[in-house]
Amino acid sequence: MVASYDVVILGAGSGGYACALRAAQLGLSVAMVEKDKIGGTCLHRGCIPTKALLHAAEVADAARNGSQLGVHVTVDKIDLAGIQDYAASVVNRIHSGLTGLVKAGDIAVVSGEGRLVSVDGKLAVRVADEDYVGDYLVLASGSFPRTLPGVEVDGDRVINSDHALKLGQLPSSAIVLGGGVIGVEFASAWRSLGVEVTVVEAMPHLVPTEDPAIGTALERAFRRRRIGIRTGVAVHSCQASGDAATVRLADGSELSDELVLMAVGRGPYTEGLGYAEAGVRLRRGFVDTDERLRASVPTTYALGDLVAGPQLAHRGFAHGIFVAEEIGHLTGRLSAAPLPVKDSDIPRVSYCDPEIATVGLSEEAARAAYGEVETLTYDLAGNGRSRILKTAGFVKLIRRSSGPVVGIHMIGSRVSELIGEAQLINGWEAHPSDVAPYVHPHPTQNEALGEAHLALAGKPLHSHG
């Protein structure tokens, strides 16, 4: 059987469902194929369950440290099943809300494994023996956890992030391979829940895609929390035996613990789906697109984690909306073409303790792009709310010499909540003197952002800027 739609989307994760919702709003008929659950990695195995785990971890730390504030509490038990039930309840509520939105949008959801095929010269998604032909096709099949050569993920002693969210019990000790965002978030949560953790990262610093000042500060904070750190050394191999797993590092040293978490990034899910056979050009496994997210075959787009760049849910949402509006424009439903999504404007947050929130260029990248830059680091020690929260950290600003702010890098408890303002400053190419007159409420951590701009505009208040 063949069914025809304006738009057929393969994958109902952050990117796919955002595209479906926006396309439906524009009056396009939409079919969305999903082999698992609407919401994809972010909702079921990523952002939401990990942030629920991290929130439980934060509560445990708050209780444990309560006596520092005169509130004496003891943590009797960490009930992992209870934490998982709490996370599942959050996920289920969001899933049911999302399913309702998709239903209200009159989007045809096709359950099953889809594959790209050619039907009478047109591309279609085949599910079992049905073909869904679209005037436009959107590839949104997402990504999977990568592994390393020499490491076999057995789901028992050596696990990935999917397994880590379903553990029957917490290990007493764990090695996290990979100090990127997923690695540092699990390391942070597990440490708060009582696990002895060591993070191994091949690059010189944790969170290596961030400005090195952030990595250095995170390492200092993690060491204070007694999280072991091995940076600048690659993994040679990993062997599970009995009740332990042993990691051999490239420098010949060995680490042995109860569990190993592979957190070395995620690969695009493009193999075995008929993409290459249909003529869709891949580069290093990712779908090769232009800045308008067009794949190499006509009327076919790719988005989200399938497209090389930061693998983040909000980038997927933005891609999905962009592609829907592009199709809306091409079919005469929208008069103006949408603006492409710029990776450099996408904010990045790691929800470890301390949190990291950044947008724009690192100092090194800004120097490479613009030559002369000015930087200012505002220490959270000068911020009242951060003192109350007992957090250390900073806001680092980078501006083009006498020009706009091109990078904002923050570390400290709860700085994720500051990223909204930071992203506007970066996106609107504001100068420090544009931000300085805005009065920030006291005592908030937002004041730190305001004061950093005051200082960079040459009128520091609670800093030595």
Binding site for ligand FAD (CB under 6 A): 10-16, 33-36, 40-42, 45-47, 50-51, 113-114, 140-143, 161, 182, 269, 273, 304-305, 311-314, 316
DSSP class of 86: H
3-state secondary structure 297-327: CCCEEECHHHCCCCCCHHHHHHHHHHHHHHH
Nearer to ligand FAD, 171 or 316 (CB): 316
Q: Least CB distance from residue 269 to ligand FAD, whole Å?
A: 5
Nearer to ligand FAD, 40 or 228 (CB): 40
Q: Least CB distance from residue 179 to ligand FAD, whole Å?
A: 14
Q: Compute how many other C-beta atoms are within 10 angstroms of the C-beta atom of residue 121.
A: 5
Q: Least CB distance from residue 422 to ligand FAD, whole Å?
A: 16
Which residue, among 79, 123, 98, 104, has the nearest Cα to 40 in the 3D structure? 98
The 3-state DSSP class for residue 442 equals coil
The 3-state DSSP class for residue 361 equals coil
Nearer to ligand FAD, 11 or 432 (CB): 11
Q: Least CB distance from residue 111 to ligand FAD, whole Å?
A: 9
CA distances in angstroms from 49 to 13, 23, 77, 84, 159, listed in the order given = 15, 28, 20, 8, 17
**Sign of the torsion angle spanned by Cα atoms 287, 289, 291, 293:** negative
* Contact predicate 262/147, CB 8 Å: yes
Active site residue ranges: 442
Nearer to ligand FAD, 270 or 426 (CB): 270
> What burial class does residue 71 get, using C-beta atoms within 10 Å of its C-beta: 0-12 exposed, 13-18 middle, 19+ buried?
exposed
**Sign of the torsion angle spanned by Cα atoms 166, 168, 169, 171:** negative
Q: Least CB distance from residue 29 to ligand FAD, whole Å?
A: 19
Residue-wise burial string across 147-170, b where 16 or more C-beta atoms lie within 10 A, e elsewhere = bbeebebeeebbbbbebbbebeeb
Nearer to ligand FAD, 349 or 397 (CB): 349
